[in-house]
Amino acid sequence: MLRIPSRIGSRQVLACAGRNLKCGSVMRHISRRNISKEPEKVYTNLADVNDPKRDQFFKYTWGTWLQNDKLEKDKRTTKFSLNGLNSVLDDIYRQATKNTKDNFKSETEIVPQPLTNKNRTVSMPNNIAITKLGTLNPNEKSVTIKTIASVHEGKHHRIYKVQTNLSDEKSLVLRIPYQLDDDKATISHRIRSEVATLDFLDLQLKMKVPKVICYAADDGNPLGVPFILQEYIDGSLLMKDWNPLMDDKALMVETGEGSTENTELASLNKVVKSMADFHAKLNSISFNAAGSIYFKNDSNLNSETVIDNISNDLASNLKDRWVLGPSVERRLWKKKSDLAIEERLKYLGPWKEDKETSISAQILRDTAILELKNAEARLAKSEQNGSKDKNTETLIKKQIETFQNVEKISGDLISSEMKAIPNIKDLLKPTIFHPDLDPMNVLIENKTETPFMLDLEGAVVKPFILQSSPQFVAYDGPKIYNMKSDIPEFEKLSEEERKHYEFMYKRTRNQFLWEKAVNERLPNLIMTVAPPVKVLRRPYTAVLEQKTDNDYILVDDSFFQLREAWAFFFKNGLVTKEEFPLTFTDEQVKQHADDLNSLHEKLVSTPFAATQGWVPQDMFDNLVRAGVIIKDSTGNFTVNDINPSA
What contacts 261, CB < 8 A, 6 or more positions away?
Answer: 254
For residues 172 and 159, what is the distance between their CA atoms, to the nearest angstrom? 10
Measured at the alpha carbon of residue 329, what is the angle toward residues 327 and 331, in degrees to the nearest 5? 125
Beta carbons within 8 Å of 120's beta carbon, 6+ residues apart: 216, 218, 220, 221
The strand pair at 2-6 and 40-44 is best described as: antiparallel
* DSSP for 465-505, written as a single string: GGPPPPTTT---S---SBHHHHSTTGGGS-HHHHHHHHHHH
* Cα radius of gyration rounded to whole Å, the chain: 26
237-293 pLDDT tens trace: 999 999 999 888 766 665 544 344 556 678 899 999 999 999 999 999 999 999 999
Q: Please, what sign has the CA dihedral across residues 280, 282, 284, 290? A: negative
Helix (H) or strand (E) holding 3: strand 2-6
**pLDDT tens-digit readout, 164-208:** 988 777 899 999 999 886 678 899 999 999 999 999 999 999 999
Percent of all residues in the chain with a pLDDT value above 90, rounded to a whole number: 62
Angle in degrees, CA 82, 84, 90, rounded to 5:
105
**Cα–Cα distance measured from residue 572 to residue 555, given in angstroms and rounded to the nearest whole number:** 25
CB contact at 8 A, 114 and 124: yes
Query: Boundaries of CATH 3.30.200.20 in the chain?
Result: 2-233
Closest CA to 64 of 120, 132, 104, 8: 8
2-233 CATH, one of 3.30.200.20, 1.20.1250.20, 3.40.50.1580, 3.40.640.10? 3.30.200.20
Model confidence pLDDT, tens digit, residues 20-70 = 343 333 333 333 333 334 445 666 666 666 777 777 889 999 999 999 999
Tens digits of residue pLDDT in 120-176: 999 999 998 877 788 888 888 888 899 999 998 888 899 999 999 887 778 999 999
Q: Are strands 145-153 and 2-6 parallel, antiparallel or unpaired?
A: parallel
Residues 6+ apart with CB under 8 A from 414: 358, 360, 361, 364, 428, 463, 465, 466, 536, 537
Render pLDDT for 519-550 as a digit per residue (tens, 0 to 9).
999 999 999 999 999 999 999 999 999 999 99
